């Protein structure tokens, strides 16, 4: 007869179950899963990050400290042996110095931040009412509305951008419709401008803004708004003092999901923008595939990644400290 553990006592690990005919490797695997199952589950995302973020970033970082050369690969080795068989490490900082000295890269970075920032604000202004309406809709229409938000993902991203080329060009659908309705007399020049880039980015990344906002707004307690209404609070004041502050986590998550990929966007500015739409994604493309200067291109990529990741890590650290302080006060 097996004794039941006392209430509150730590669970007692059971010995591995041995069945007749079970292979030794299967017994070992079952024992590892039984004893280290939680660690293995936690290990999966770390392995994912290691393979698809840390390792590629380490390769790009290594190339950024190399020097350009004509050959395959088009960069020098960081570690080699001298004629005296000594190990030699060569780190070239000239790529980063060249990037700082040439104002073209600075302009590309600033343009990328400006276009990504404006696009994020536009996506927030459009996405917040959409998410709010979906969260307040009845359950039946809510499912259909969410389906419509994610429906564009069923089509290729490139095809959707090409479709906007047909809509925004001089004799496209938009100008044809506006002239037919008498709103304008001459076609608007949208294609090849930053406005076309804003439209393309907002359209492409709008679901990334709507879905986190919806997840936050859907969890809000409606009794808070009811209590504010019973106390005589006007709807707009209740929205500004209750709904908007409580939806800040969704705003931050959606803004990050739109802003970060927009900074390095290449396809939309290349197809919808003009020669004046000079973003860092085009610089990377030119350095890698036209100039074949992989060390400089890698330095540009590393600088862009640090420019995005470091502020996010600082923000996450501040949020974690604020959460800990709030828990201690409570």
Say which CATH number the domain at 106 has.
1.10.3720.10
Is the pTM higher than 0.85? no
Do 63 and 110 fall into the same domain? no
Per-residue pLDDT for 322 more than 80?
no
pLDDT in tens, 130-187: 999 999 999 888 999 999 999 988 889 899 999 999 999 988 999 999 999 999 888 9
Asked which of 3-12, 82-91, 281-290 is least confident by mean pLDDT, the reply is 3-12
Give me the pLDDT at residue 131, please: 95
Q: What are residue 89's DSSP bridge partners?
A: 79
Task: Identify the domain boundary among 257, 278, 299.
Answer: 278
- Longest distance between any two alpha carbons in the chain, whole Å: 92
Give me the pLDDT at residue 330, please: 67
Is residue 229, in this structure, part of any structural domain at all?
Answer: yes
- Beta strands (DSSP E) in the chain are 79-81, 87-89
Give me the pLDDT at residue 321, please: 79
User: How far, in Å, CA of 254 to CA of 120, rounded?
Assistant: 9
Question: Domain limits at 147?
Answer: 102-278
Do 116 and 73 fall into the same domain? no
Query: Are 149 and 210 a contacting pair, CB within 8 Å?
Result: yes
Q: How many domains does the chain have?
A: 2
Is residue 321, in this structure, part of any structural domain at all?
Answer: no
Task: Identify the domain boundary among 79, 110, 138.
Answer: 79
Is residue 284, in this structure, part of any structural domain at all?
Answer: no
Do 115 and 70 fall into the same domain? no
Is residue 308, in this structure, part of any structural domain at all?
Answer: no
Do 178 and 241 fall into the same domain? yes
Give me the pLDDT at residue 18, please: 56
73 cis-preceded (ω within 30 degrees of 0): yes
- Cβ neighbours of residue 262 closer than 8 Å, sequence gap 6 or more: 112, 115, 116, 119, 120, 201, 205
Per-residue pLDDT for 276 more than 80?
no
Give me the pLDDT at residue 2, please: 46
Do 269 and 128 fall into the same domain? yes
Give me the pLDDT at residue 17, please: 55
Q: Nearest 5°: phi and psi at 233?
A: -75, 135
User: How far, in Å, CA of 197 to CA of 115, rounded?
Assistant: 8
Do 146 and 41 fall into the same domain? no
In the chain, % of residues over pLDDT 70: 93
Q: ∠ CA(207), CA(120), CA(53), 5° rounding?
A: 75
Do 35 and 131 fall into the same domain? no
Closest among 213, 231, 205, 248 to 136, alpha carbons compared: 213
- Summarize the confidence of residues 94-121 as an average pLDDT: 91
Is residue 195, in this structure, part of any structural domain at all?
Answer: yes
């Amino acid at each position: 007869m097996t004794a039941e553990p006392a209430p509150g006592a730590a669970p007692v690990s059971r010995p591995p179950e041995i069945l007749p005919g079970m292979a030794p490797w299967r017994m070992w695997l079952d024992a590892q899963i039984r004893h280290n199952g939680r660690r293995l589950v936690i290990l999966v995302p770390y392995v994912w990050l290691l393979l698809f973020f840390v390792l590629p970033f380490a390769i790009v970082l290594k190339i950024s400290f190399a020097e350009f050369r004509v050959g395959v690969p088009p960069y020098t080795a960081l570690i080699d042996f001298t004629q005296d068989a000594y190990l030699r490490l060569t780190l070239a900082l000239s790529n980063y110095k060249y990037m700082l000295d040439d104002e073209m890269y600075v302009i590309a970075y600033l343009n990328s931040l400006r276009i990504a920032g404006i696009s994020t604000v536009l996506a927030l202004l459009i996405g917040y009412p959409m998410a709010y309406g979906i969260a307040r809709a009845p359950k039946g229409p809510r499912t259909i509305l969410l389906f419509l938000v994610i429906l564009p993902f069923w089509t290729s991203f490139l095809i959707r951008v090409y479709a906007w080329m047909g809509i925004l060009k001089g004799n496209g659908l938009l100008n044809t419709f506006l002239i037919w309705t008498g709103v304008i007399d001459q076609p608007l020049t949208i294609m090849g401008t930053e406005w076309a880039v804003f439209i393309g980015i907002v359209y492409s990344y709008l679901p990334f803004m709507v879905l986190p906002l919806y997840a936050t707004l859907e969890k809000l307690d409606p009794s808070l708004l009811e209590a504010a209404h019973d106390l005589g609070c006007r709807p707009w004041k209740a929205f500004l003092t209750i709904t908007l502050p409580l939806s800040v986590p969704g705003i931050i998550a959606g803004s990050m999901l739109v802003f970060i990929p927009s900074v390095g966007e290449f396809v939309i500015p290349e197809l919808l923008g003009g020669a004046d739409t000079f973003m860092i994604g085009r610089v990377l493309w030119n350095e890698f595939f036209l100039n074949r200067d992989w060390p400089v291109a890698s330095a540009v990529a590393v600088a862009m990644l640090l420019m995005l990741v470091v502020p996010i890590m600082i923000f996450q650290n501040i949020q974690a400290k604020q959460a800990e302080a709030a828990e201690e006060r409570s």
